Amino acid sequence: MVRDLVVIGGDAAGMSAASQARRLLGVDELAITVLERGDTTSYAACGIPYWVAGLVPHRSDLVARRAEVFRDKQQIDVRLHHEATAIDTDARTVSVRDLTSGAELTLSYDDLLIATGAQQVRPPVDGLDTPGVFGVQTLGDGQRILDAMAQRSPRHAVVVGGGYIGLEMAEAMQLQGLDVTLIDLAPQPMTTLEPELGALIADAIRTMGIDLRLETPLSGIEAGADGWVRAVTTPGGEIATDLVIIGTGVRPRSELAAAAGIPVGPSGGIVTDDHQRTPVDGVWAAGDCAETLHRVSQLPVSFALGTIANKQGRIAGLNLGGGEGRFPGVLGTAVTKIHDLEIARTGLGVREAEAAGLSVEVSSITAGTRAHYYPQSSEMTVLLVIESGSGRLLGGQIVGGLGAGKRIDVLATALWNRMQVEDLVQMDLAYAPPFSPVWDPVLTAARSAAGNAGRDAGKDAGPNAR
Ligand SMILES: Cc1cc2nc3c(=O)[nH]c(=O)nc-3n(C[C@H](O)[C@H](O)[C@H](O)COP(=O)(O)OP(=O)(O)OC[C@H]3O[C@@H](n4cnc5c(N)ncnc54)[C@H](O)[C@@H]3O)c2cc1C
């Protein structure tokens, strides 16, 4: 008998799952229908800032695989412009609206995968629908920003939100030749990092010529006589602008699931087990809309990260295809950059560790990204969050020049393997002058942290300059 799999959401998690399930089961065993309310499957939202910046020439460059390819090569019935509007978990049906014709239809499923992603958290002000105010979530958003730049030749942009999307869009606007003001209600950009690193980022952003205004919430949007945005208002006054980019974060898009009685957890994501199953029979969830386990805090979390969405989609697809896969949880490892400043984090920050009931120490060092005598070495700061007493690594954060950011992967690997800072000190990492000092900054950070706590296993580790 042919089973019916319906997938809601045709991007990273949904299409990974559909492809993986199809690899395991042919059309005579599994019929797969994907509902995608947009016009594209498998698109790289992560690439939007670089496309808007002009670094990626074509919208199509951001599409990994088009709907036709899924249809022709994998016999996956992808229905674009189709929105799931309700789920009945007793009847095992999904109500669907064809956004092109307006027709309503009902699909039956044996298994349902919810992969509806995340939605923007919009600041609580009027006027966000004013022409010239843009979100950055879909390829359509990117196209609208590019169209506005082509048609109106803007000179000034206000970016609202100093998280990673805000920073990436601030860079994009600068690369397009606009003057940029970046506002954030918090006292630092990148609030997921410790204040010490937030201050470094703030200084660097200002040096880049961006007018960074912290503790500056958006309080309104003003339109000009032609209806196009003219200014944003803040408690400190009005900022005249030609474009506004909203980058104020996202949250799991879990309303459809919640309305159907599918449990949503404290993080706002759909509750899943390590197979990506929800507690409701036959219903699965993966990607930004799903809640998962943090490997360090052991608490439920939701992260909007493409890395996690692709992996969870694959695990869901393995299990839906009759195989066996387990999702082992996350560390929340993330990296971004603004011009030459690279920013990364993994694991727990101080607030998160304390919220998990852990007692922590913080240790940070600043070192060169390359040997001090090699050209173009720049500074990088590594901050480690360590459990007091045990010396267990709980988290790491990095801010620095070229080559700094991806070093977070060493810390993520250490965290994944529950290492202590002493173990990290001894790790055999590669060295040559163009790549790092002989003691890589990550090792120096671990050595300093171990030393601070009187646990300096690295003190006899050899010369520190070559
Ligand atoms: C500008 C930007 C930059 C980013 N950069 C990075 C990065 O550098 N690194 C990183 O790891 N992550 C990054 N991300 C996050 C990453 O893009 C997401 O984590 C990833 O796309 C999540 O995949 P998903 O399949 O869970 O959800 P989505 O990609 O959001 O896909 C969900 C899909 O479901 C569809 N949908 C929703 N509701 C319905 C419905 N009711 N019916 C039918 N269809 C529906 C939506 O149209 C959407 O296409 C970035 C995101 C953005 C927006």
Domains in the chain (CATH in brackets) are: 3-46+54-119+250-320 (3.50.50.60), 133-246 (3.50.50.60), 334-452 (3.50.50.60)
| CA–CA separation, 466 and 436 (whole Å) | 11
Q: Which atom of ligand 1 is nearest to the CA of 44?
A: 17
Q: Which of 259, 14, 204 has its CA nearest to residue 112?
A: 14
| CA–CA separation, 260 and 279 (whole Å) | 12
Ligand 1 in reach of 256 Cβ (< 6 A): yes
- Give this prediction's pTM: 0.95
Say if CB 256 and CB 116 are below 8 A apart.
yes
Please tell me the predicted confidence (pLDDT) of residue 464: 38
Q: Which atom of ligand 1 is nearest to the CA of 13?
A: 25
Say if CB 113 and CB 278 are below 8 A apart.
no
Ligand 1 in reach of 36 Cβ (< 6 A): yes
Distance 47 CA to ligand 1 centre (A): 11
| CA–CA separation, 317 and 17 (whole Å) | 4
At residue 6, does pLDDT exceed 60?
yes
In this prediction, residues 44-61 reach a mean pLDDT of 97
Nearest alpha carbon, ligand 1 atom 18: 306
Please tell me the predicted confidence (pLDDT) of residue 385: 98
Q: How many Cα atoms within 13 Å fall on the side-chain side of residue 307?
A: 10
At residue 455, does pLDDT exceed 80?
no
**pLDDT above 90: percentage of residues in the chain:** 96
Say if CB 181 and CB 154 are below 8 A apart.
no
| CA–CA separation, 307 and 460 (whole Å) | 38
In this prediction, residues 189-211 reach a mean pLDDT of 98
**pLDDT above 70: percentage of residues in the chain:** 97
Please tell me the predicted confidence (pLDDT) of residue 451: 85
- The DSSP secondary structure of 397-436, one letter per residue, reads EEEESTTSGGGHHHHHHHHHTT-BHHHHHT------TTT-
Residues 258-276 pLDDT 10s: 999 999 999 999 999 999 9
In this prediction, residues 119-143 reach a mean pLDDT of 96
Residues designated catalytic: 46
Q: Which atom of ligand 1 is nearest to the CA of 82?
A: 43
At residue 461, does pLDDT exceed 70?
no
The helix/strand/coil state of 199 is helix
Please tell me the predicted confidence (pLDDT) of residue 387: 96
The secondary structure of the chain in percent helix, strand, coil, rounded to multiples of 5, reads: 30, 30, 45
Nearest alpha carbon, ligand 1 atom 30: 117
- The DSSP secondary structure of 136-168, one letter per residue, reads -SSHHHHHHHHHHHHHH---EEEEE--SHHHHH
In this prediction, residues 144-152 reach a mean pLDDT of 97
Nearest alpha carbon, ligand 1 atom 34: 9
Please tell me the predicted confidence (pLDDT) of residue 106: 98
Say if CB 151 and CB 226 are below 8 A apart.
no
At residue 466, does pLDDT exceed 50?
no
